[in-house]
Amino acid sequence: MEENSPVPIEQEGFQAKDISWWFWAIILIFIWAIYIIATRENYQDAFQFIKAGIAVTIKTALISYAFAVVLGLLAGLGRISKNIFFNNLARLYVELIRGIPMLVLIFFIALVGVPIFVDGLNAFGAWLVKIGLGFIGTPLNEFGNSAFTMNSRAIIALSVTYGAFLAEIFRAGIQSIGKGQMEAGRSLGMSYGQTMRHIILPQAVRNVLPALGNDFVAMVKDTALVSVLAVRDITQVSRLYAGSTFRFREAYVTVSVMYLAMTVALSLLIQLMERRLNND
């Protein structure tokens, strides 16, 4: 509607961004939700049930993100590497992940990838036993699929998926640093790795911190996908609650507000951080 108004609002001395009514609308939604949950028994019941999943959601997001950062950094370094093997390997990883829907990836990694990995481990263990290294081989050989709980498979799936996204962020961050920085480091006798670590990465990471933050928010939301693996995160618990009580409205209002609370809080935190970075 504002786009259609003939006179730009900005001209009148106040700016559209000063109103920030969207922010107050979200605050209102929170107040309303808290009020409802506090006063209505059905909602209170739903909240009590669903909040059992909060720890799983947060834990899944945090652990997956930490692994994804490591994977993403390695793959990002691979993407800019002059070593043809690592460069191609990193590219392959990123392209594979980006070409498959996340939901399918989660099924695939958890239900196909992990079992294949376990089979490989078993075969390797059997081979070790055969060549007489039973003390390492036997435990590897007897390693079962059950060693990987669905929760840990969900974390593996999210880590591998987000690692590819973060790889592109790290790559862009590294490439945003002028060539002269690497040359200055190398001309002082520092190795490629030392220059990366002490000179390039600190600057690159700083440049991409907002993007990394945004992806963490996205990760928090995407943990909902692991409910398809029956991991009892807040989405899965809501589904269970709604399914057994038929209180769909209570379940999905509550879980939506929970996600919103987490993502809005994180977004504000990221904005604060960005502002602080821009100030110095």
Partner 1 sequence: MTNEPRDMIVIKDLHKHFGNVKAVNGVSLTVQKGKVIVVIGPSGSGKSTMLRCINHLETPTSGEIWIDGVKLGHNEKELNETRAEVGMVFQQFNLFPHLSVLENVTIAQKVVRGRSKEEAQEIAMKQLTRVGIPEKADSYPNNLSGGQQQRVAIARSLAMNPKIMLFDEPTSALDPEMIKEVLDVMLDLAKEGMTMVCVTHEMGFARSAADEVLFMDAGVVVEHTTPEDLYNNPKEERTKLFLSQILQH
Binding site for partner 1 (CB under 8 A): 178, 180-181, 183-192, 194, 198-199, 202-203, 206
Residue 200 Cβ vs partner 1, minimum distance, rounded to whole Å? 10
Residue 91 Cβ vs partner 1, minimum distance, rounded to whole Å? 24
**CB nearer to partner 1: pick between 116 and 188:** 188
Closest CA to 237 of 62, 38, 54: 54
Long-range contacts (CB closer than 8 Å, 24 or more residues apart) made by 174-177: 174/76, 174/77, 174/80, 174/200, 174/201, 174/204, 175/80, 176/204, 176/207, 176/208, 177/203, 177/204, 177/207
Residue 209 Cβ vs partner 1, minimum distance, rounded to whole Å? 13
**CB nearer to partner 1: pick between 9 and 182:** 182
**CB nearer to partner 1: pick between 145 and 191:** 191
Token pair, residue 75, equals 């793959």
**CB nearer to partner 1: pick between 198 and 249:** 198
Residue 72 Cβ vs partner 1, minimum distance, rounded to whole Å? 21
Closest CA to 241 of 253, 257, 229: 253
